[in-house]
Amino acid sequence: MNYYKASKKIILGIDIFTITISFVLVYLLRFRNLLESSRSTELTSMYVVFFVVTSALYAVIFMSRGKPVLERQSYKEIWFDVTRQQFFLMSFYVLLFFMLRMTFIIDRVVVSLFFGGSVILDGVGRYLYHKYCVWRTYRSRIPLADKDRNSRNIRQLIDVTDNTVDVRKLENTDVQHVYIIGSKSIGQYGGFESFVMNLLKGQENNKNIKYHVTCKKNGNGYMDVSRLRGASMINEDEFIYYNAHCCLIDINEKLGSGQALDYDIKAFKWVCDHIEKNHVLHPIVYILASRIGLFEGKYVRKVHKADGKIFQNPDGHENWRSRWKLMIRWYWKLSEKMMVKNADLVICDSKNIESYIRDEYASYHPDTVWIPYGSIVIKSTLSDNDPKYLNWLANHNLRDGHFYISVGRFVPENNFEIMIREFMSSNTDKDFAIITTEYPKLMSELQQKLHFERDRRIKFVGAVYDQELLTKIRVNAYGYLHGHSVGGTNPSLLEALGTTKLNLLLDVGFNREVAEDGALYWNESKGSLASLINQTDKMKPEEIRDTGEKAKQRIRDEYRWEDICEKYEKIFALQN
């Protein structure tokens, strides 16, 4: 959203005006008896001079600070800022009175009246100015293509079926620089990494957009450039991939789980330095995930100084994940809040996440748009008799086509406990192959609870990093169980819809919005999944085939990478 920016001079004027009014009222109420004394002129002059000097000092300090963000603040933040500011100002007054040995003209009543009056008047003034900025923001948004405000939602503007926006008409002689932060690598780790890889591939021939992508040089999930087909090194810290300029960020590996924060902050700093050194105008900085909302303020200001925009992708409900301790969840929530506040546009990969952002942070009036992850409908390149596939089956004592699978991180919010317990309660003669990373602590807890080692159908088969083999496993599996309960559009679900015939999903909004009628659903209640497994075991081949085709059609209709890339191209082009 192009906000009507609050003027620093007007905010300062409001501050000085309200402080002056408070000063005059306090003086008249508390020191009216001085007007009749012989020292009235002397004391009044000293008090006025003192007030003018300190107010001037305040004005100098205020004007030397960065741009105000009153138009982006919530009402609570406005009152908090005013209270904090007046507290420090009053403390400064009191300290000077003591230093000048003038305590006879200041007491608790004076301090209370002055502080209370200043907070109330200044708070009301800033609040009204904030309302004015919000009003000007929406009044100044000129409709495109003669559409009214309700019809010019960004989602409509980027819909590939909507012809009201022609990218060629939006082309500019200037190249639009787009910086992407938050992806650990390109195509070598997870959902964001896969997104970046496919985005760059899809925009290879776009001469109007220049991508700059940061990657981890070391640490967990680092970018191994030697494994990235088509990449060419510029130097030890930079490489080119599909015409994108990529930079490797060196992080402190001793920080453990704090590596992610260290990486994102250093990446943002590199972006700002690159923008400044190369005099890049109107850049777009796209931040993936909301890890550094508390630390990005000064970098956001630098981007705005270059007439740039901040795009943010909040990912999923990270603060809902049970693996995080209470303080970390609190941090994620606060970071998410600051992320929304700092963003010019919030890009959500899930409609449910978009609704949550708009409702939860309505006071910030966030501009949002839904652009999901992409996927493809793919057939396996391996035959049923391929040694790679047959060896995998033999190693885990599995029969071709007679096993269910689940793919995902072994964490509580993916509900492996429910899936294992329900599978053990079902009557199926098929196996359950769990393709996941190791998590010894959770594994031990589930063993003690469920004793799943006694059921030969439950098989932990480890992670599968060979994409050809993983695709073959998905295609030949009888069904796929998906228990993810937190987050937005999950990449493993999209891959399952594009390959596996039967998909049995936990019935939450994130999953249902993706699959719709292309999957079967279960809930967390006892017996729900077990009953569904028994039911799917009795399905006829044509029923299974029809369900699988509906799932694949969902991918073709909503999640094709070509369409996703075109939507991003339009979003970036609209900013010029």
Residues 569, 355: Cα–Cα separation, whole Å = 23
Residues 399 and 467 reside in one and the same domain: yes
> Distances from the Cα of 434 to the Cαs of 134, 179, 331, 438, 514, in angstroms?
51, 37, 32, 11, 22
Higher pLDDT, 39 or 267: 267
Higher pLDDT, 8 or 165: 8
Q: Is residue 2 a part of any domain in this protein? A: no
pLDDT band at 80 (very low <50, low <70, confident <90, very high): confident
pLDDT tens for each residue of 111-150:
777 788 888 888 888 888 888 877 776 555 434 333 333 3
Residues 321 and 182 reside in one and the same domain: yes
Domain of 239, CATH number, reads 3.40.50.2000
> Distances from the Cα of 97 to the Cαs of 54, 67, 345, 523, in angstroms?
12, 32, 48, 68
Residues 505 and 541 reside in one and the same domain: yes
Q: Is residue 116 a part of any domain in this protein? A: yes
Query: For residue 486, is pLDDT > 80?
Result: no
Residues 407 and 358 reside in one and the same domain: no
Q: Is residue 164 a part of any domain in this protein? A: no
Q: Is residue 457 a part of any domain in this protein? A: yes
pLDDT band at 33 (very low <50, low <70, confident <90, very high): low
CA 373 to chain centre: 14
* Parent domain of 404: 387-559
Residues 541 and 418 reside in one and the same domain: yes
The one-letter amino acid at 571: I
Residues 19 and 98 reside in one and the same domain: yes
Residues 320 and 277 reside in one and the same domain: yes
pLDDT tens for each residue of 156-168:
555 544 444 343 3
- Residue 331: the pLDDT is 81
- Decide if 285 contacts 308 (C-beta within 8 A): yes
Instruction: Decide: helix, strand or coil at residue 331.
Output: helix
Q: Is residue 158 a part of any domain in this protein? A: no
Residues 61 and 118 reside in one and the same domain: yes
Dig out the tokens for 323 from the structure: 């693996």
Which of 127-136, 138-147, 263-272, 439-448 has the highest mean predicted lDDT (pLDDT)?
Answer: 263-272
Number of structural domains found in the chain: 3
- Residue 401: the pLDDT is 93
Q: Is residue 225 a part of any domain in this protein? A: yes
Of 34-48, 335-349, 406-420, 477-491, the range with the lowest mean pLDDT is 34-48
Q: Is residue 250 a part of any domain in this protein? A: yes
Residues 181 and 219 reside in one and the same domain: yes
Residues 31, 468: Cα–Cα separation, whole Å = 85
Residues 242 and 212 reside in one and the same domain: yes
- Residue 100: the pLDDT is 61
- Residue 167: the pLDDT is 39
Which of 57-71, 92-106, 429-443 has the highest mean predicted lDDT (pLDDT)?
Answer: 429-443
Q: What torsion do the CA atoms of 268, 81, 87, 9 make, to the nearest 10 degrees?
A: 90
pLDDT tens for each residue of 322-340:
555 677 777 878 888 889 8
Q: Give the whole-number percent of the chain exceeding pLDDT 70.
A: 83
Residues 207 and 349 reside in one and the same domain: yes
pLDDT band at 523 (very low <50, low <70, confident <90, very high): very high
pLDDT band at 500 (very low <50, low <70, confident <90, very high): very high
In the chain, what are the helix, strand and coil shares in percent, each to the nearest 5?
A: 55, 10, 35
Average pLDDT of span 81-104: 74
Tell me phi and psi for residue 205, to 5 degrees.
Answer: -95, 10
Q: Is residue 167 a part of any domain in this protein? A: no
- Closest to 426 (Cα-Cα) out of 531, 538, 524, 536: 531
pLDDT tens for each residue of 216-255:
988 877 888 888 888 889 998 999 998 899 999 998 888 8
- Closest to 210 (Cα-Cα) out of 575, 476, 572: 572
Residues 196 and 343 reside in one and the same domain: yes
